[in-house]
Amino acid sequence: MNCQESRELKHAYSDGELDLVRSVEIEKHVGDCEACARDYQNLRTLRSAIGSSDLYFKPPAGLRNRVRSAIRGKEKSTDAAGPVFSWVWLKWGLSLTGTALTACVVTAVLLTASADDRLADDITAGHVRSLMASHLTDVPSSDQHTVKPWFDGKLDFAPPVVDLKEHGFPLAGGRLDYLENRPVAALVYQRQKHFINLFIWPANGAGAVEEKTFIRKGYNLVHWTTAGMTFWAVSDLNGTELHDFAELIQGQAAPASPR
Amino acid sequence: MDEHEEQARFEESVMPHLDAAYNLARWLTRNEHDAQDVVQDAFVRALKFFGGFRGGNSRSWLLTIVRNTCYSWLEKNRKHELVTAFDEDLHAIEDNSHNPELLLLKDADRQVVRQAVEELPVEFREVIVLRELEEMSYKEIAEIEGVPIGTVMSRLARARKMLHQCVARQIETGGTK
Predicted pLDDT at B104: 81
Smallest CA-to-CA distance from A231 within A251, A191, A145 is with: A251
DSSP classification of residue A191: E
Of A28-37, A201-210, B87-96, which gets the smallest average pLDDT?
B87-96
Q: What is the mean pLDDT of residues B109-138?
A: 94
Q: For residue B89, what pLDDT band results from cuts at 50, 70 and 90?
A: very low
Phi, psi (deg, nearest 5) at residue A137: -135, 145
| CA–CA dist A53, B110 (Å, integer) | 5
- More confident: A157 or B100: A157
Residue A55 and residue B35: Cβ atoms within 8 Å?
A: no
Domain boundaries, chain A: 3-51, 81-119, 124-252
Q: Where do the domains of chain B lie, and which CATH numbers do they carry?
A: 3-82 (1.10.1740.10), 107-173 (1.10.10.10)
Strands A229-235 and A219-226: antiparallel
CA distance B68 to chain A (A): 18
CA distance B76 to chain A (A): 22
A44 touches chain B (CB under 8 A): no
| CA–CA dist A215, A225 (Å, integer) | 18
Q: For residue B101, what pLDDT band results from cuts at 50, 70 and 90?
A: confident
Per the prediction, chain A carries an average pLDDT of 81
What residues contact B58, with CB distance under 8 A and at least 6 apart? B13, B14, B17
Q: What is the mean pLDDT of residues B55-66?
A: 91
What are the C-alpha distances in Å from B130 to residues B135, B139, B155, B162?
6, 11, 12, 17
> Across A175-179, A209-213, B20-24, which has the greatest mean pLDDT?
B20-24
- More confident: B103 or B74: B74
Q: What is the mean pLDDT of residues A86-108?
A: 49
Q: In A34-169, where does DSSP find H-type helix? A: 34-51, 63-79, 81-97, 100-132, 144-150
Predicted pLDDT at A93: 46
CA distance A184 to chain B (A): 23
Q: Of chain A residues 188-207, which have a CB less than 8 A from chain B?
A: none
Predicted pLDDT at A41: 93
- Residue A52 CB neighbour total at 10 angstroms: 12
> Across A64-68, A97-101, B81-85, which has the greatest mean pLDDT?
A64-68
ipTM of the complex in this document: 0.88
Chain B residues in contact with A68 (beta carbon < 8 A) = 11, 15
| CA–CA dist B139, A17 (Å, integer) | 10
B71 touches chain A (CB under 8 A): no
Q: What is the mean pLDDT of residues A77-92?
A: 42
Predicted pLDDT at A107: 54
The proportion of chain A whose per-residue pLDDT surpasses 70, expressed as a percent, equals 80
What is the spatial order of strands in the sheet that A229-235 belongs to? A139-140, A171-179, A182-191, A194-202, A229-235, A219-226, A209-216
Query: Residues A117-140: pLDDT tens digits?
Result: 888 888 988 888 888 766 678 888
Under CATH, which number does the domain A124-252 receive?
Answer: 3.30.200.100
